Amino acid sequence: MKILVVDDSLAMRMIVIKTLREAGFGGHDISQAEDGVKGLASVKEDKPDLILCDWNMPNMTGPELLEALNTEGISTTFGFVTTEGTDAMRDKATELGARFVITKPFTPECFRAELGQYLA
């Protein structure tokens, strides 16, 4: 399966990808994008099965990317991986159709438990 990691921080993309590997998902095809605009292009080109996306990013934020996907009728499983998870953010994520919000810091166990259902 294909996983797309979208985050403007290279360090954070490295951590998310390392955690995916530690959680046993290293065998999947993992790609990355550094903002929502590049994420959207990557979704259209690579058609990932799961998108793990940061909230705040330049050019196009995570919620804006999810809105754009909704507008284009792309229903790829989408979840946020964010530094801060306020109630307002969770409400917005739910409203937009995100499947989960994972708040950093996270563990391989957390990834395994929560993402396993989408990566079987």
Partner 1 sequence: MAPLAVQSTIPERPEVMPQFRSVKSYWDAQHGRHTVRILPGEYYVSTGDEIITTLLGSCVSACIRDPQTGMGGMNHFLLPESCDDRAVVGSRARYGTYAMEHLINVLLANGGRRERLEVKLFGGSRIMKNATDVGERNIAFIRDYLRTENIPVLKEDLGGTHPRKVLYFAASGRVLIKKLPLSENTQISELESSYEQAIIKKPVAGDVDLF
Going residue by residue from 46 to 85, which x/- string records binding to partner 1, judged by CB under 8 A?
Answer: ----------x-x------------------------xxx
Among 12, 27, 37, 71, binds partner 1 (CB under 8 A): 12
Q: Report the alpha-carbon distance of residue 57 to residue 80 in Å, rounded.
A: 12
Residue 31 binding partner 1, by CB under 8 A: no
Among 8, 53, 65, 119, binds partner 1 (CB under 8 A): 8
Q: Report the alpha-carbon distance of residue 83 to residue 75 in Å, rounded.
A: 24
Count of positions on this chain that bind partner 1 (CB under 8 A):
30
Among 64, 110, 112, 120, binds partner 1 (CB under 8 A): 110
Please choose, from the candidates 14, 16, 69, 8, the residue with its C-alpha nearest in 3D space to the C-alpha of residue 35: 8
Q: Report the alpha-carbon distance of residue 20 to residue 38 in Å, rounded.
A: 21
Residue 38 binding partner 1, by CB under 8 A: no
Contacts to partner 1 by CB under 8 A: 8-12, 14-15, 18, 56, 58, 83-85, 90, 93-94, 98-107, 109-110, 113-114
